[in-house]
Structures are given as structure tokens and as C-alpha cells.
Chain A
Amino acid sequence: MSTDKKTIKFEIVTPERIVLKEEVLQASVPTQSGEITVLPDHIPLVAILRTGVIELKKISGENEVISVSGGFVEVMKNKIVILADTAELAVELDEARIEEAKKKAEEMKKWKDIDAAQFAEISGLIEKQLARSKAVKRWRNLNNIK
């Protein structure tokens, strides 16, 4: 890889920790009005995040996949800051546990006596698990792991 290629400073933090801080070539981020891909020299932008999957292309040519739920993204010239409510690297995710959590959340949805707030919470939970499993699958695809 040539070193003179333009890169973006990418930083993603959650209230619990700094998930990733690295120079990347490009980043795709799910926002409320659709997925955006940020390349170097993108115009400054502030957007609300949607639960979904972030894809990064690292300088080494590797791909990184992160599942996020909720938060904000601030894009500056060659710098991206993501303030996420939760975020996990696909590498860290365990598929078996995600499937289990997804099933559990879907079962909860079937309960009869839940109010609207609980329903919204459970729906959010399912969405989060879906994003996580999507992240794992995407990561495997990109890295040709079966």
C-alpha cells in the first residue's frame, strides 16, 4: 500500500469504552436517512445513527465490521467521530450467543401483558441482535471465513 494515500482518522466511543481508534481509507455508516460512505475530504456532517453495521477499510487493506445501536456521527475533514450508545467489533462477537439472545428477545415479544414502552424496548433489543449477527456475517464474507 502506498503511504501517500489519503486517510481518515476514525474514532468510535461508547459510554463504556473506546471501541476503535484508527486511520482508515473509507467508512460506511448507517444513518437515519440511509447508509453513507465517507471517503477522505468528505464535507463536514452531523447525523443521527441508526442501529446497524459500520464497515471500515483499513490502510492494510483489511476490512473491519462494527455493529452499533444508536448515537451520533460527526464527520469533519478527514476525521470521523462516532458517539454510539453501544458498539462491538464483529471479531469480538460470538454467533451462538447472538442467536440465543435473538430468540429470547423474540419470545419476549410474544408475551401478552406488555405495554408500549416495553414493546419498544424489546423491539430495540431484537434490532440490536439482528445488527450484531449481520455484522458477523458481513465480516466473514469480507474475510472469506466460513
Chain B
Amino acid sequence: MAKTKEISRRIKSVSNTKKITKAMEMVAAAKMRKAVEAVLKTRTYANLSWETVLHLAKLAEKRDEMSHPLLTKRKEVKKVGLILISSNRGLCGGFNAAVISKVKESIKKHDVDTEIVLVGRKGGILAPQGYHIAAEFEKADLVLSAAETNPIARMATAEYLSGKYDKIMLAYTDFISGVKQEPRVKQLLPVDISAEDQYLGVVGKDEAVGTSKEYIEEKEKKHLQSGEFIYEYAFEPSANEVLDRIVPRLIEVQLYQALLESNASEHSARMTAMHQATEAASDMVSELTLFYNKARQASITAEIAEISAGANALA
């Protein structure tokens, strides 16, 4: 009898857990819909602007008047600033672990003193592991406008210009589809077309826009060359003024888009994780029910055997 009671208590607790995970799955699904909508809306803008900036960076390599501190590679990279976008809450499968391990991999590979700027609470686990944390930004659960990320972009740009960092990297999770998300580390500053491909990534993918080196070069051929003659860009009012306005603005856009991508990824990762948890709970309940019935039957059989044995003894 004691055994069946124990099992029925466990069934109850597992089905309660299942209710919770089911509810969380539904909440994550609703949040994901909103986040995905937001991410798709701004993707074209973000990609087109990144394409423009990369193109300008490429041209700047050749033209002196276009030299701009945000486009110029430093000879020696002594310190790198890395912006890590993670989630505030757990229970989202391997979402945080994936982006964090990508960060560790990148730091190990470059072997340069790296300071990390956290956006989202879960990145904090890097602190006790001996990584330097330079700042931690609160991340709102719902991102409504670019005003959310502008302070981060401004800080990153200012600290790059002041010489505190010689490179700014950005680690986030690309939202590819509801079931596929990919952690990425990309170089934000200086804007550099010849940075390794891995760090050139598009924020999201779009058929019409590419930001690989080949694509930019091809674009140049298609739109800037006529026969042997290569056109040069004109700037209005002046190259410096235009770049001063355009580059920081587009860095803001990139950061905002990266945050949106990460949010969409987080919610879909959580939805998947909670869906799996719900399914696992269902399996567990049916298994436990089977045990429960077996135990119940066994105890009934035992009882009948006892009764009949008792009756036999009396007869």
C-alpha cells in the first residue's frame, strides 16, 4: 500500500511541473511571435546599412581624405572590448551556454586582453571564471526602440575613440529560424572589410543583401565601374562630416538589430526547451501510471491471496 501512495504522489508532482512548463511554453511562444516580427521588420535596414558602411570602409583604405578613426585599423591591438548579449533568465536550453562558449573560444583564439561588457544577466557567470567584466547593462525584457541600445553603442564608440579599446567585438545569437539559432562573434569597430570572414557576419540573413568581401567587391564592379574607369564617391557636405554622422548611427543600428536577433533566439530557444520539458513530463507521467497500476494490482493480488489463505486455514 505504501508503495502506491508514494507513486501517486510523484505522479501528482510531475503533472504539476508539466502544467508549469506548458504555460511557460505558451508564454515563450507569444513573446517569440512579437520578437520575430520585430527582428524581421528591421533586418533589411540593418543589412543595407551594414553593407554601406563596409563599402565605405573599403573605399577608405585607398583614399586619404576619407580616413576616419572609426574606419582605421590600429597597428597594435592591446585591448579588446567585447559586448556579450545574453538572456536575463534561464530555462532556455543551450541558448546562453552556446553564446558564452563562442565568446570563450574567440578570446582564446586571439589571446589579447579582453574586457567584457554584459548585456543581460546570464553572461555574469563569466566573472567568477576569471574574465574581466567592464560593465553590465540592464536588459529590458521587451525591447521597444533603439533607445534601449544607444547608450551601449555610444559607450563602445567613445571608448574605442579614446583608445581604451583597440577593437570592439559583439557576441550575439543570430535568429535563423524557429528551430535554428546560431551564436556569432562579429567585429563592430573598426569597420573593416578584411576582418576574417567569421567576424563579418550578416545580422540575420537576407537573400538580396550580402556583406561578404566578395559581395562588396562585386557590388563595386557592378555599380561603380564603367569600362576601365572607376568612379569615386563624392560626399556632401564633406567626407569627414558624412562619416562622422553615418558610422556611429549605423553602429547603433547594428547593435539594436543584434539585440533583437538575440531576443528572438532566446524566446524560440525557451519555447523549444519548454516544449521538450512538457513532453518529457508526459512520458514520465504515463510511465509512472503504469508502475502505479502494476503496484496496485500486485497489492490486490497479495490481499486476495492472504484472504483465501486465511479462509483455507479456517476450513
- Give chain A's interface residues, CB within 8 Å of chain B: 11, 13-18, 31-33, 36, 43-48, 72, 74, 76-79, 81, 83
B44 touches A18 (CB 8 A): yes
Contacts of A16 in B (CB 8 A): 41-42
Query: How far is it, in angstroms, between the C-alpha of A84 and the C-alpha of B133 when the chains are bound?
Result: 36
**B62 interface hit (Cβ, 8 Å):** no
Query: How far is it, in angstroms, between the C-alpha of A31 and the C-alpha of B238 when the chains are bound?
Result: 12
B246 touches A48 (CB 8 A): yes
| Selected contact of B253 from candidates A15, A32, A48, A81, CB within 8 Å | A15
Interface stretch, picked from B10-18, B158-166, B225-233, is: B225-233
Jot down 5 A-B pairs with beta carbons below 8 A, ordered by A: A14-B45, A32-B237, A44-B231, A72-B249, A76-B219
- Most chain A beta-carbon neighbours within 10 Å: one of B146, B219, B249: B249
Query: How far is it, in angstroms, between the C-alpha of A81 and the C-alpha of B49 when the chains are bound?
Result: 9
A31 touches B236 (CB 8 A): yes
Query: How far is it, in angstroms, between the C-alpha of A72 and the C-alpha of B237 when the chains are bound?
Result: 12
Which bucket holds chain B's interface residue count? 20 to 34
Query: How far is it, in angstroms, between the C-alpha of A30 and the C-alpha of B164 when the chains are bound?
Result: 38
Q: Which positions 27-53 of chain B face chain A at CB distance < 8 Å?
A: 41-42, 44-45, 48-49, 52
Known contacts A15-B253, A48-B237, A77-B223, then 12 further A-B pairs from the complex at CB < 8 Å, ordered by chain A residue: A14-B45, A15-B146, A43-B232, A43-B234, A45-B235, A46-B236, A47-B236, A47-B237, A48-B241, A72-B242, A77-B224, A81-B48
Contacts of B224 in A (CB 8 A): 44, 76-77
| Selected contact of B242 from candidates A43, A44, A47, CB within 8 Å | A47
B234 touches A15 (CB 8 A): no
Query: How far is it, in angstroms, between the C-alpha of A48 and the C-alpha of B240 when the chains are bound?
Result: 12
B245 touches A48 (CB 8 A): yes
A43-B246 contact given A32-B236, A72-B52, A83-B45, CB 8 Å threshold: no
**B288 interface hit (Cβ, 8 Å):** no
List the A residue with the shortest CB-CB distance to B41: A16
Determine how close the nearest CB of chain B comes to the CB of A86; give it in whole angstroms.
Answer: 12
List the A residue with the shortest CB-CB distance to B232: A44
Query: How far is it, in angstroms, between the C-alpha of A47 and the C-alpha of B56 when the chains are bound?
Result: 12
Query: How far is it, in angstroms, between the C-alpha of A44 and the C-alpha of B249 when the chains are bound?
Result: 21
B236 touches A33 (CB 8 A): yes
| Selected contact of B223 from candidates A46, A72, A79, CB within 8 Å | A79
A77-B226 contact given A15-B253, A32-B236, A47-B236, CB 8 Å threshold: yes
Contacts of B45 in A (CB 8 A): 13-15, 83
Contacts of B226 in A (CB 8 A): 77
Query: How far is it, in angstroms, between the C-alpha of A14 and the C-alpha of B233 when the chains are bound?
Result: 23
Query: How far is it, in angstroms, between the C-alpha of A121 and the C-alpha of B58 when the chains are bound?
Result: 35
A15-B42 contact given A48-B242, A77-B224, CB 8 Å threshold: yes
Proximity bits, B145-168, A CB within 8 Å = 1, else 0: 010000000000000000000000
B52 touches A83 (CB 8 A): yes
B231 touches A77 (CB 8 A): yes
Contacts of B256 in A (CB 8 A): 15
Determine how close the nearest CB of chain A comes to the CB of B148; give it in whole angstroms.
Answer: 13
Contacts of B56 in A (CB 8 A): 46
Query: How far is it, in angstroms, between the C-alpha of A46 and the C-alpha of B256 when the chains are bound?
Result: 23
Query: How far is it, in angstroms, between the C-alpha of A90 and the C-alpha of B152 when the chains are bound?
Result: 36
B234 touches A45 (CB 8 A): yes
Query: How far is it, in angstroms, between the C-alpha of A31 and the C-alpha of B42 when the chains are bound?
Result: 24
A44 touches B233 (CB 8 A): yes
